[in-house]
Structures are given as structure tokens and as C-alpha cells.
Amino acid sequence: MNDRHELYMMLQGDVTFSIEGRLYHLEPYDMLLISNQDIHCVMVNGEQAYERICIYFKPEYFQQFCTKKYNLLRLFEREKRLEDGYRIDHENVKRYELDKYFQQMQECYAANLPESGILLTSLLLKMLLEVNRAYDESRQLETEEEGNLTHSEKIDDIVRYISENLEEKITLDDLTKRFYLSKYYLCHEFKKVTGFTVFDYIRYKRILSAKTKFQNGQPINEVWRELGYEDYSNFYRTFKKITGMSPKEYLVSVSERKNEADKE
């Protein structure tokens, strides 16, 4: 788990990518937009070589380039993408030359020149602008044809319900009654679509939410109670298992990143 947004492009292979309850059977040069709040995993099908390229970036840094009229990071906001999806098809990637931005950023990074940091920021800003345009066009096409996206409306509803009720105690009995499903079907379908068990998914979503709350300055005692944990020790164990650090260690890392950003 990290605190960065991700631009992902598949280069070759036979893979299925799961993001927030939606499965994408990717073709070469298909691109995915992955928020730091999204639970996702990749499933490699068969033994064909799998190659991809990813760009990670800190959303808080690029917030300064957003205006009231234009939100550069709008495509990483959960509310919009729950409805519209997460993929830009390979045709629009090529049409808007998004693959060339990946290549240029790789070359810039490898050059390691004094001005490389500025050039990388400039390239990523241009790329995000083109990503917004390409995404909008992809959505228009996918209203006519679903393309390589498959998903279950029931799982979409369950994922949305979990995300909106992280502070509540969520059990399998509650979910089966609310969504009129058998336990077997719910567990089997949820795992197949998301790549996670129901309980693992809930745990990951709560820790993602906790990280966001910490970044916004909320204290530890307030956060674990808001997220429905009965005691701090349970929250502590879960947080450390998923993030690799304790809540206090994570708060220190957040403070250090903010200090570094202020120096820049």
C-alpha cells in the first residue's frame, strides 16, 4: 500500500486486473487510472510474459495545479469512477500519444540531469491533461460498447456499501440479508471479482481510510474509533500488518514528507 496515485499501462501479457470490484481483461497499451484509495490486484493468466509500466505520483503535490474551473485530478476521485470506470482503451492511448509520455519520462529519469525533476513534473502535468481528454472520449465509446470490462452490479453495490459504512460493524450475515445473496455466492463472487475476501477487503479499506485521516491531521485515538474498531490493539495490529509500520511511525513519515515538500 502506498499514498500515491498510479498511471498503469499494460505492454504485453494475458492479465486480468481487478479494481474496486471491476475486472478488466487488458489488451496491450490499455491504461488504468488507480487512486491511492483503490483496492486492486492483477491476475496473470497462463505463462505468457507479463510486462507493464507504472507512474506513481503524490496527489497532494499536484493539487496546487488544480483550479476552480479545472480539476486536474478529477479522474482519481472515487465518486466519478464508480460510475464511469477506470480504463482508457489502447486506441485512445495511441490517439492521444499517452504511451510516448511514459517513454519520455523513462528517458528523462534515466538521464538523471540537474533539471530532470522539473522536466518530469512538466511531462506529468501535460500527460494528466491528455489523460483527462482521452478518458472522456473512452467513456463516450464505452457507453455504446462495454469493451473489455466485466463486472457484477451486485458486487458494485456491495463495494459501494462497504466504502460508505466503514465505521459500522459489517458482517457476512448483514451483507447477505441486505443484498439477498447466499453466503457461498457472496464469498465466491466477491473473491472472483475483487481478488480479495470480503473481510480482507474491509480491512484494507479501513486502513486506507485511516491513512487519509492521518494525512488530514486527525489523531490516532479519534481515527481508530471512527473506523469501528473495538480497541486500539486490534487497529494497531491490522495497520502494521498492512502498511508495515505502526500508526505512530506512519504519522512520523507523513510529517517528514510534509517537511520535505515545504522545503521544495
Model pLDDT, residue 55: 93
Model pLDDT, residue 121: 93
Per-residue burial over 167-194, b if 16 or more Cβ lie within 10 Å, else e, is eeebeeeebbeeeebeeeebbebbeebb
Model pLDDT, residue 79: 59
- CA 181 distance to own-chain centroid: 27
Flag residues of the chain having pLDDT under 70: 1, 78-84, 138-151, 259-264
Model pLDDT, residue 177: 92
CB 30 within 8 A of CB 87: yes
pTM: 0.72
* Residue 78 identity (one-letter amino acid): R
Nine-digit cell at 68? 476552480
Model pLDDT, residue 264: 54
pLDDT digits (tens, 9 = 90+) for 207-253: 988 988 998 889 999 999 999 898 999 999 999 988 889 999 999 98
What are residue 16's DSSP bridge partners?
A: 25, 43
Measured in degrees and rounded to the nearest 5, phi and psi for residue 11 equal: -100, -45
Model pLDDT, residue 145: 43
Model pLDDT, residue 18: 84
Model pLDDT, residue 144: 45
Q: Which has the closest alpha carbon to 78: 205, 195, 262?
A: 205
